[in-house]
Amino acid sequence: MSAAFVPVDALSGPRSLRLLSAGGWSFYAIAAVTLFVILPVSHLAVPSDSALHLSDYWVTLIGKIMCYAIVALAMDLIWGYTGILSLGHGLFFALGGYAMGMYLMRSIGRDGVYQSDLPDFMVFLDWKKYPWYWSLTDHFWYAALLVVLVPGLLALAFGFFAFRSRIKGVYFSIITQALTYAAMLLFFRNDTGFGGNNGFTDFKRILGFPITAPTTRMALFAITGAALLGFLLLARWIVTSKLGRVLTAIRDAETRVMFSGYNPVYFKLFIWTVSAMICGIAGALYVPQVGIINPSEMSPANSIEIAIWTAVGGRGTLIGPVLGAAAVNLGKSWLTKAFPEYWLFALGLLFIMVTLFLPRGLAALWTARRKWT
């Protein structure tokens, strides 16, 4: 491979063999102590009337933001490092959520409004039995497989035909957006067996534990935090490996990669599928914490928002999209309460300002700080 289109830091052999620097591992240690010790103790052990108590609202909000950060990280792998802008990652996120939601709906049992073995929405629609694709969804292991396999197989099939046809750039983005929109319309239908526009909600338990119990909430919170840290390490390993060098080369000069003897199709297909599977896992972690999944999660606007998180944080940086997802969604949480009618304007203004004045995203602020200190 020609060195002309390989990133400088990818060429430094000893550095690429080291997964993280000492400072990076220190960050992980601090994040782990915060997520697995400080915040759980603050929520479970500190009295609710104390200023140090972490409320249920913040546990849910932080957990939700960590799920969004995982999705942004997945977007960074495909867009930031491979140069493929997807406007369909919201679909993979929602499919993972629906797969987990099917298990949670089966776990309700006869505790629903109609006290039936079927979910309430099926009873209301006069369904007599579960559709065939609901088979085995009362088993957690099977639902966990669906969480990974459904987004992964869809991405594999779609990506195979798209990349073989050399669809790229804005055309690929438009097609992924159309795919997401078509899936949203399908899931809005009541006869598909996914709850129509209401989706799945009113969950009672997960793995036999009450889903609203503080200990269950904190366990889901900790698992989400562990997943985020784990996927950061996985992404770091990918982008610093030989595979990562090829992906970056595809982003910068795909034609030269082909002339060097590599077939970009399989590299793009691999990272595209992995990115979709990561989104599915994020969706599965999101649903039990938020308590609902419906077709609006597949809205094209949500997929565009995922791209904005990545751009605001900084593409091709890994930590940048995590920061972007956190910053945008914390701002959204406040603005949609204080000034709900101005949120979309604020989001658009933020994207324009970052594009004009901070093209490398929020992560560039940390880089500049290190340069001047």
Domain that includes residue 178, residue range: 3-311
Task: Please state the pTM of the whole predicted model.
Answer: 0.92
Please give the single-letter amino acid code of residue 138.
D
Whether residue 106 is contained in a domain is answered as: yes
Whether residue 362 is contained in a domain is answered as: no
Whether residue 350 is contained in a domain is answered as: no
Sign of CA dihedral 265, 311, 64, 45: positive
Collapsed DSSP state (helix, strand, coil) of residue 201: strand
- The total domain count for the chain is 1
What's the CA gap between 74 and 290, in Å, rounded? Answer: 21
Count CB atoms within 10 A of the CB of residue 181: 17
Encode burial over 269-293: b for 16+ CB neighbours within 10 A, e otherwise. bbbbbbbbbbbbbbbbbbbbbbebb
Residue 159 contacts by C-beta under 8 Å, 6 or more apart in sequence? 268, 269, 272, 273
Contact 324, 362 (CB under 8 A): yes
Whether residue 332 is contained in a domain is answered as: no
The pLDDT tens digits of the residues spanning 335-346 come to 888 888 888 888
Whether residue 335 is contained in a domain is answered as: no
E-strand stretches of the chain: 200-201, 205-206, 209-210, 292-293
Q: What is the pLDDT along the chain (373 residues), one digit of tens a residue?
A: 333 333 434 333 334 346 777 878 888 899 999 999 999 999 999 998 999 999 999 999 999 999 999 999 999 999 999 999 999 999 999 999 999 999 999 999 899 899 999 999 999 999 999 999 999 999 999 999 999 999 999 999 999 999 999 999 999 999 999 999 999 999 999 999 999 999 999 999 999 999 999 999 999 999 999 999 999 999 999 999 999 999 999 999 999 999 988 999 999 999 999 999 999 999 999 999 999 999 999 999 999 999 999 999 999 999 999 999 999 999 999 988 888 888 888 888 888 888 888 888 888 876 655 554 3
The pLDDT tens digits of the residues spanning 197-207 come to 999 999 999 99
Whether residue 366 is contained in a domain is answered as: no
Whether residue 259 is contained in a domain is answered as: yes
Whether residue 343 is contained in a domain is answered as: no
Sign of CA dihedral 221, 85, 356, 369: positive
Provide the greatest CA pair distance for the chain: 68
